[in-house]
Structure 1
Amino acid sequence: MGGTAVVVGGGIGGLAAALGLRRIGWEVRVVERAAVLADAGAGISLHANGLRALDAVGVGQEVRAAARPQYTGGTRTPDGRWLSRMDGRLLERELGSPIVGIPRAVLHRLLRSALPAECLLVGATVRTLDLSDPDRVGVPVGDGVLDADLVVAADGVHSRLRGLLFPDHPGVVYGGSTVLRAVTEDPVEVRTDFELTWGAGAEFGHIGFTDGRAEWHAVLNAPAGVRHTDPLGMLRGRFGGWHEPIPTLLAATRPEAVLHHDIHELVTPLPSFAAGRVALLGDAAHAMTPHLGQGACQALEDAATLAAALAGEPTVGAALTRYDAERRPRAQSVARAARQAGRMGQQLSHPLALALRNTGLRLAPSRATMRAILRHADWTPPSLV
């Protein structure tokens, strides 16, 4: 089965969906409201499931070549003591790949460069859909209408199309944490590929890149909407007494490079990831907290699964029924696990709760930590042929 598709949203999930659809013979247009596609942002970790999904849509090799494997690291306390260690070699033996770190801008560029330029329509906003014809979807864009057999709603955490398709759904809610992040201006010395440090209601982490620079992020319990006139200065005061390389990472960052976003999630699960001829994908379908590092990986799984369903089913309706059945239980389960990980990790603030958690982590065998990662990362994409 072939056809025409419009992907609304040119982020990681939307671009991967376009690649998967083109790989099975569909004509695709990607509509992105930003005037310039996102060669910005901080960094991202990709687990084996995300990399396998990238293999399925045709760009896994290129992404691996640009990424830094995460063999060393783990979780620490603010004074530098280790709570748990990560064994990237064990993950590689179990899954064929360690977790890898890559700048979001590089990942986005690799996805975009694998698409013909004429597939991309930037600086255009999709505010509504014409759903009057059960056999087609009209996508008003500018002064015209794109006609499609399928629309992929990949328009992010605050998805306009999700609200259109499910008007009675409450939408996303604030998750109780806010995140500041950046990439260092120049290479920095970090002794591990990846780290998290947990304090009271706060987390600081870093990811090393192949060029020697590093991404860092700080997640804090805070009321929604709080912003700082000097975000980097606030972070230096908040984390200045924490172990190295945290002060070094902050010192190596330009103030204007710091990004700040509140974390929103879909606490109320969607009843379906499809409606008519529209498939929801990524944050539009299952916005989750970042505490498992699975948000982008789940969007990539969506993209590969959607393409496989369309390749294997005789009609769009049958394909979207299969897509929903295969993706919704898993993605919503991962979202629940991410929420729980945040509650037991970064969001804990009571001294007794912190002491109990830290003791439990120190006493847990390393294999238990690996099992927690394997539970979500051990996923095999369906065949696209």
Structure 2
Amino acid sequence: MPEINHEITLDAALGEEAVLATYRRMFAALAKDSGAVVDDPELVDIAETLFTAFAEAGEEWLTHEQMRRACHRYPAEMFENRLRVLKGLGAIREVFPKPNQLRYRASFTSVVGLMFVRRMMADGGQSEMHRLLALEDLNVADPRTTMEEARESAQNLARAFRLWALELITLATGTIEELREQAPKLWGTEEIAQRAEGLHATILSRWPELDRTCGELRAAIYAYSDASRRAAGRLADSAGTTRNLTLLPAETWRTFAQTASKERLAAVLEGVVFDAPAPWHDPAAIVRAVDESPRPAPVQPTPPRSDLPDPGPVGTYDGPSAAPLERLAEFAENALADRDAVAVDELLREQGAWLSARRVLADLTAIDLHPQLPYRLRWRDEVDARPDEEPTWITHGVLERIPR
């Protein structure tokens, strides 16, 4: 399979690097070495494509060939290497732990992990911090929660807020480009701080003995609030000179467009080049031109038919007067010959030529579709190519007698 050629641009490269940086940061504590984290965004896309295919397959699960078909747009070597890693880490496992297992299932934990990563990439962790604080609020209000559990919760939150404050301080004193890139980390900081202060008050009211631990949590919250205000102030100061429309909420720009004068509106678009307006056309003329445009009739090719004679297999068809069910039952009994099962490819080889073998295959299919007949066809997924034989393609199946 040919390799995929992507148009490489600076924006695309920066976007891919941001994705990889998020994955590295999230899994750094679990990685054995630097090579344990992916270094190609397509490797992540392969995993998501596979999980989507497993979700659509349902209880049928997927075979190796079906997984490859779902990831057909990726090079075969890249797919096989990624599948080996996912199997080794338990993200994809056999449906049942037994030898010669052909079907696989995906791990729920891995899918949830990818969803968590995507949320982290979207807002830098704000939504996860809101969820964490809401859960901790419920925990500390639960009568079954012990003082040690509350102490551990407060210490974990204090550590998280201090690290977050240090990162915001670095952004506030670093380059403005990096601050713009990490702007989502400044969204909703006031609400997060208020919720954290409410959690601190709950812990302190229930366990006054944790006053020192709560003091550390309160100091971390204040440090986070101060750092976020400093970073947001610097970001707002730079927005007016750069005219970056993504740095302010949409409501602000809508209000500005409705209330500003023509001169101020023109200043925003200063230096922007627009294409010349297209000629004006009467709508009625456009409708008339569309109605009068010729529409070629679609070509409907005739289905391919063989022009070779097909007398049918000898000894298996008694003529048009034979009852269909009786003829099919007689054919099945002749094929089984007092056996409980017979391979379909064996019956096809007995005909010698494909013209007769295809009639046998049609009869076998009809037998399987009739619920009144005590026979059934069971197929496997493998397909064998035999260029020197007829038929050339063999799909393994078995005609079985259904016990009554």
Taking structure 2 as the reference length, the TM-score comes to 0.21
* Higher strand proportion: 1
1 or 2 for the larger relative contact order (CA 8 Å, sep ≥6)? 1
Higher radius of gyration, 1 or 2: 2
